Structure 1
Amino acid sequence: MGLAGILAGLALLVWLAYRGWSVLLLAPAAALIAAAFAGEPLLAHWTQTFMGSAGRFVAQFFPIFLLGALFGKLMEDSGSVTAIAEYLTEKLGAERAVLAVVLAGAIVTYGGVSLFVAYFVLAPMATALFRQADIPRRLMPAAIIVGSSTFTMSALPGTPAIPNTIPMPFFGTTPFAAPGLGIMASAIMLGIGLWWLGRAEAVARARGEGFGDDRGPAADAAAGDPVVRERAVTANGFDPAEIQRSTPAPDRPNIVAAAAPLVVVVVVNLLMSFVILPRVDAGFLAEPRWGGTTLSAVAGVWAVATALAAAIVTLLAFSAWRLPSLRATMDAGANAAVLPIFSVASLVGFGSVVAAMPAFDAVRDWVLGIGGGPLVSLAVATNVLAALTGSASGGLTIALEALGPTFMAIAAEKSLDPGLLHRIAVIGAGTLDILPHNGAIITLLAVCGCTHRESYGDIVVVGIGGSMVALIAVILVGGLVGSF
């Protein structure tokens, strides 16, 4: 009965979340169903297990969610994201429209701009470019996915994307975990994505297929759609409802002012991870007043939070005077972080209750018994849970909350670098999460004015296919030579 309860709770969570119900309600309800089937005390699991775990997640990651959403909103309202996109468009031209969209997405997301902020800026840019180049509209979502939701989310070393930060407290790693393997995986994802898009464009031209009908702007409708919002907030750290709740600057900054904050994110993140924090005497963290923790458990979060804070200060120095209402922009950015972090934290709470069930031992044994060793087991666990929840962040947190200590014990026993576990977990979570019910996919299609029928096939190839090949390559190479 216990295993049936786990499956019933998960099924309820997945089914109703896809229909647009709030995860804030679904996750505790699903957890209580799992506990009820097992005959476990319901209120104790709700207030102690569920809320305790959700609270710890908020305590660990709220600085990153808050600063990331605030930075994304400032970059959007200041016109910096648009300025970077326009600069690339001017330099590459309409004849390289696909490459311009991919590079624009990669630059802004690797620089710390929230995925959904990037979507709402890149979609109008892609529409104009693809119309001018007469490339089918249906290829726009796949081009944006390649640049913003593949290698810069899960593989490129140092990316401040939320999924890349989640394993850090579990494995004691930094955002630059397994950098060589991450660069290799990034090259694979980018290469497959550009190859497929180039092929698809050539086939479309040979058939005489042009841009197609002009359906008008879709971004405003997507931002205000409550179903899109509920599905989106578990997939990224920005609430789409806040997109329209401030006034953007009337003009664009120059390219130096626009790009400077992105450079600061990368440089400060690197310095904090490898130069500053390793030299800090953090023995005081072992004291009870600081939670009895270690520097390795918090260094990654400290590095990313400091990098985002430095970037915000840089952006304000360049562009604060240009914003019509700085307070409205900052309020919207701060508010945009709240629903996403509590939604993901609720999924973490659900995972903790499931892991506390006696029947979960059977699930753990099944995962660890998968052929291929612990690296394959970890990849399967994160893939399956990300696929079921439709969220890389949600699936990854559930998997690590339930199985993270087990995999760390295996790593110590087999002398595996935790950085290798980090990179495989993140790439795995960013592979099968791109299923039709994924909130990011639904949001992107709505913003681009496309349907699943038109665009999802290309998304599967560049998103799932490219990431799966990269994941297999990292497992094979990492298993043979270790992390590098």
Structure 2
Amino acid sequence: MGLLGILLGLGLLIWLSYRGWSVLVLAPAAAVIAALFAGEPLLAHWTITFMGSAAGFVAQFFPLFLLGAIFGKLMDDSGAVQSIAAFLTDVLGPKRAILAVVVAGALVTYGGVSLFVAFFVLAPMAQALFRAAGIPGRLMPAAIALGTSTFTMSALPGTPAIQNAIPMPVFGTTGFAAPGLGIVASAIMLGFGLLWLQRAEGRARRAGEGFGQRGADHPAQAADDPVVRERANTAGTFDPAEMAHSEAGSARSGIAVAVLPIAVVVVVNLLMSMVVLPRLDTSYLAEVRFGGITVGSLGGVWSVIVALCAAIVVQVALTFRNVPALRATVGAGANASVLPVLSVASLVGFGAVVAAMPAFISVRDAVLGIGGNPLVSLAVSTNLLAALTGSASGGLTIALDALGSTYLQIADANGIDPALMHRVAVIGAGTLDTLPHNGAVVTLLAVCGCTHRESYFDIVMVAIVGALLALVAVIGLGTVFGSF
């Protein structure tokens, strides 16, 4: 009965969230169903197990959601993201339209700009370039997804994406965990994705297929769609409804000014991780008032926090004249971070209740026994949970909350570098999360004015197949050579 309750709760969560119901309601309801079938105390699991785990997620990661959303809104309203898109449009032009869109998406998301902010800026860029080049508009979502939702989210060393931050407290790692393997995985994802899109473009040209009809107002429509909003908030760190709650400036900064805050994120994150924090005296963390912890469980998150703070300061100093209402922009960014963090935290709370059920022991043992290789079982567990929840961050956190300490013990016992576990977990969460019900997929298609029928197969190829190839390569190389 306990296992049946877990499956029923999970099924309810998936089905109703796909229909646009708020996960803030669905997650505790699903948790209560799981506890009910297991004969466990309902109120205790809701108010203690569920809320304790959800609150713990908010306590650890809300600063990243908050700062990331504010930085993304500043980059948007100041015109910095648009300047980067315009520069790449001028340099690469319609002849390299796909490459221009992919590079623009990769640059802004690797620099800390929120996924959904990037969507709303890149869609008009892709629309103009693809129309001028005669490339089918149905390929726009796949090109944007390749640049924003694959290697810059899960593989590229130092990415400030929340998915890359989630394993840090569990494994005591930084955002630069297994950098060599991350670069290899990034090259595979990018290379395979570009190859696929180029072949798709070639086939379309031979068939005489042109750009087609795409409306110009889809970004605004997507931001106002309540179903899109509910799904998006479990898949990203920015509430799309806040896109219009501030005023964008009409001026555009030069490319150097636009790119500098992005460079600050990367450089400060690296310096904090590799130079500053290792040299600081953090022995005070062992005191009872700080929880008796070590800097290893906090250092990665601290590095990203400092990097985003520095980038925000630089961004405001350089472009505050381009932002008509700075207070409104900062407020919109701050508000945009609240619903996503609570939505993902609710998924985490549901996962904590499931992990507390007696029936979960058999599930845990089955997962740990997959393939006889802990890297394989870790990849499978993050993959499946991200697929079921439609959220890489939610699935990853659930998996690591339930099994992270076990995997860390396995790593210690088998001489596996926790950095390798980190990289496998993140790449694993960024594969099957891109199923049709994923909030990022739904939002991206709405922004581009495309349908699942038109564009989803190409998204699968660049965001799932390419990521799976990279995951297999990382597990193989990591098994043979270890972390590097």
Asked whether the two chains share a fold, i.e. TM above 0.5, the reply is yes
Q: How far apart are the structure 1 equivalents of 2:43 and 2:280?
A: 42
2:285 equivalent in structure 1:
285
1:118 counterpart = 2:118: yes
Q: How far apart are the structure 2 equivalents of 1:372 and 1:465?
A: 23
1:413 counterpart = 2:413: yes
2:479 is aligned with what amino acid?
Answer: G
Deviation by residue 1:330-364 (Cα, 9 ceiling, x = unmatched):
00000000000000011111111111111110000
2:451 equivalent in structure 1:
451
1:168 equivalent in structure 2:
168
Aligned pairs for 1:69-468 (under 5 A) are 69-468=69-468
TM-score by structure 2 length? 0.99
1:45 equivalent in structure 2:
45
Instruction: Say whether the 8 Å CA contact 1:396–1:426 is kept in structure 2.
Output: yes
Task: Give the drift of 1:313.
Answer: 0.2
1:189 is aligned with what amino acid?
Answer: M
Task: Give the drift of 1:281.
Answer: 1.0
Q: How far apart are the structure 2 equivalents of 1:144 and 1:10?
A: 30
Compare 206-215 and 460-469 and name the one that shifted more: 206-215
Instruction: Say whether the 8 Å CA contact 1:386–1:395 is kept in structure 2.
Output: yes
Q: How far apart are the structure 1 equivalents of 2:254 and 2:317?
A: 14
Deviation by residue 1:167-200 (Cα, 9 ceiling, x = unmatched):
1111111000000000000000000000001101
Instruction: Say whether the 8 Å CA contact 1:124–1:217 is kept in structure 2.
Output: no
SS of residue matched to 1:243? helix
Q: How far apart are the structure 1 equivalents of 2:372 and 2:307?
A: 37
Deviation by residue 1:72-104 (Cα, 9 ceiling, x = unmatched):
000000000000010011011110000000000
Task: Give the drift of 1:257.
Answer: 1.0
Q: How far apart are the structure 2 equivalents of 1:466 and 1:214?
A: 27
**Structure 2: gaps (5+ residues):** none
Q: How far apart are the structure 2 equivalents of 1:5 and 1:414?
A: 35
Q: How far apart are the structure 2 equivalents of 1:242 and 1:265?
A: 23
Instruction: Say whether the 8 Å CA contact 2:252–2:322 is kept in structure 1.
Output: no
1:244 is aligned with what amino acid?
Answer: A
Q: How far apart are the structure 1 equivalents of 2:205 and 2:184?
A: 32
Q: How far apart are the structure 2 equivalents of 1:322 and 1:214?
A: 30
Q: How far apart are the structure 2 equivalents of 1:189 and 1:294?
A: 35
Instruction: Say whether the 8 Å CA contact 1:116–1:240 is kept in structure 2.
Output: yes
Q: How far apart are the structure 1 equivalents of 2:215 and 2:177?
A: 43
Q: How far apart are the structure 1 equivalents of 2:392 and 2:355?
A: 19
SS of residue matched to 1:126? helix
Task: Give the drift of 1:110.
Answer: 0.3
Q: How far apart are the structure 2 equivalents of 1:483 and 1:379?
A: 16
Q: How far apart are the structure 2 equivalents of 1:237 and 1:402?
A: 23
Instruction: Say whether the 8 Å CA contact 1:109–1:148 is kept in structure 2.
Output: yes
Q: How far apart are the structure 2 equivalents of 1:371 and 1:184?
A: 23
SS of residue matched to 1:431? coil
TM-score by structure 1 length? 0.99
SS of residue matched to 2:436? coil
Q: How far apart are the structure 2 equivalents of 1:197 and 1:186?
A: 16
Task: Give the drift of 1:234.
Answer: 0.5
Task: Give the drift of 1:165.
Answer: 0.6
Q: How far apart are the structure 1 equivalents of 2:440 and 2:401?
A: 23
SS of residue matched to 1:174? coil
Identity over aligned pairs, percent: 70
1:482 equivalent in structure 2:
482
SS of residue matched to 1:121? helix
Q: RMSD over aligned Cα, in angstroms? A: 0.6
1:7 equivalent in structure 2:
7
Q: How far apart are the structure 2 equivalents of 1:415 and 1:281?
A: 28
1:20 counterpart = 2:27: no
Task: Give the drift of 1:457.
Answer: 0.7
Task: Give the drift of 1:372.
Answer: 3.7
Deviation by residue 1:210-251 (Cα, 9 ceiling, x = unmatched):
101242320000000000000000000000000011100111
Task: Give the drift of 1:127.
Answer: 0.3
1:399 is aligned with what amino acid?
Answer: A
Q: How far apart are the structure 2 equivalents of 1:429 and 1:323?
A: 36
Q: How far apart are the structure 2 equivalents of 1:205 and 1:217?
A: 27
2:315 is aligned with what amino acid?
Answer: L
1:473 equivalent in structure 2:
473
Q: How far apart are the structure 1 equivalents of 2:47 and 2:391?
A: 25
Task: Give the drift of 1:288.
Answer: 1.4
Q: How far apart are the structure 2 equivalents of 1:471 and 1:112?
A: 23
Q: How far apart are the structure 1 equivalents of 2:409 and 2:103?
A: 39
Deviation by residue 1:137-157 (Cα, 9 ceiling, x = unmatched):
000000001111000000000
Instruction: Say whether the 8 Å CA contact 2:214–2:449 is kept in structure 1.
Output: no
Task: Give the drift of 1:47.
Answer: 1.1
SS of residue matched to 1:157? coil
2:55 is aligned with what amino acid?
Answer: G
Task: Give the drift of 1:371.
Answer: 1.5
1:76 is aligned with what amino acid?
Answer: D
Instruction: Say whether the 8 Å CA contact 2:16–2:26 is kept in structure 1.
Output: yes
**Structure 1: gaps (5+ residues):** none
User: Deviation above 6 Å: which 4+ runs of structure 1?
Assistant: none
Q: How far apart are the structure 1 equivalents of 2:166 and 2:25?
A: 23
Instruction: Say whether the 8 Å CA contact 1:228–1:439 is kept in structure 2.
Output: yes
